[in-house]
Structure 1
Amino acid sequence: MKRRAFHRAVFLLAAVYNILWGLLAAVDPQWLFRFADMPPLDQPALFACLGMVIGVYGLLYAEVARRPEHGFALAAVGLLGKVLGPIGLAGLILRGEWPPATLVLCLTNDFIWWVPFSLYLWDAWPGYRRTFAPGQHEG
């Protein structure tokens, strides 16, 4: 795989980041609301649950780092979440429901990963495509 060492490092970093972010959200689910000068959540368990989901993505990214030749689908789902999340947040901001300060979520959780995840998918695509070629099976 092209740039294998780079991709392994990126996904290992993404794994550690996501697990730590998930732990922070579980331990302090009001941090974003304090940061953005928003009223505290009346159901902080919802944000803690979001942290759990993001933390679990960290386990998937660790698997991509461990076996980059086999991580295309996991990374594709990860990148999809990193695109859809900001779209949802943009809707909240445009409707005036959340302040622009909440974009901090997208800076570290999404935007910084778009290029390296996309590059990985570009490099991993030929191997993924061959896996599903007629008459060929991975052995």
Structure 2
Amino acid sequence: MRRRRTHRAVFAAAGAYNIGWGCYAVLDPQWFFRVTGLPLSNAPQIFACLGMVLGLYGLLYLEVARRPEAGWPIAAVGLTGKLLGPAGLAWLIVTGVWPPTTVIMIITNDLIWWIPFALYLRDAWPSFRATLTGPAAAAAPPR
């Protein structure tokens, strides 16, 4: 795989980042509201749950770092979330539901990962495609 060492480093960093972010969100679920000037949440458990989910994504990213040839589906789901999250936030900002200060979360959680994840998906596609068309696929009955 092209740039294998770089992809391993990127997904190791993404995994560590997500686990750290997730743990912090679980331990202090009001931090985002304080930092962005939003009113404190009356249901901080929801943000803590988001932290748990993002922390679990971190474990998946560490698996991509461990076995980059097999990580295409995980990275594809990860990049999809990193594209949809900013779209949702943009809608909240444009409609005045959330203030522009909330964009800080999207910069570190999503935007900085777009290029490395997309590059990985491009480089990993041939390896992943080979698993789809390998001997197991040939032995499968036609649909």
TM-score, L = length of structure 1: 0.96
**What does residue 57 of structure 1 align with?**
57
Higher Rg: 2
Aligned identity (percent) is 60
**What does residue 136 of structure 1 align with?**
135
8 Å Cα contact 1:26/1:47 also seen in 2 = yes
Matched letter for residue 123 of structure 1: D
Cα deviation code 1:26-85 (max 9, x no counterpart): 011111111111110000000000000100000000000000000000000000010011
The whole-number CA distance in structure 1 between the counterparts of 2:3 and 2:100 is: 36
8 Å Cα contact 1:130/1:136 also seen in 2 = no
Deviation at 1:119, TM superposition (A): 0.4
The whole-number CA distance in structure 1 between the counterparts of 2:6 and 2:112 is: 15
TM-score, L = length of structure 2: 0.93
Structure 2: runs of 5+ lacking an equivalent = 138-143
RMSD across aligned C-alpha pairs, in angstroms?
A: 1.1
**What does residue 141 of structure 2 align with?**
none
Structure 1: runs of 5+ lacking an equivalent = none
Aligned pair count reads 137
Q: Which protein is richer in helix relative to its size?
A: 2
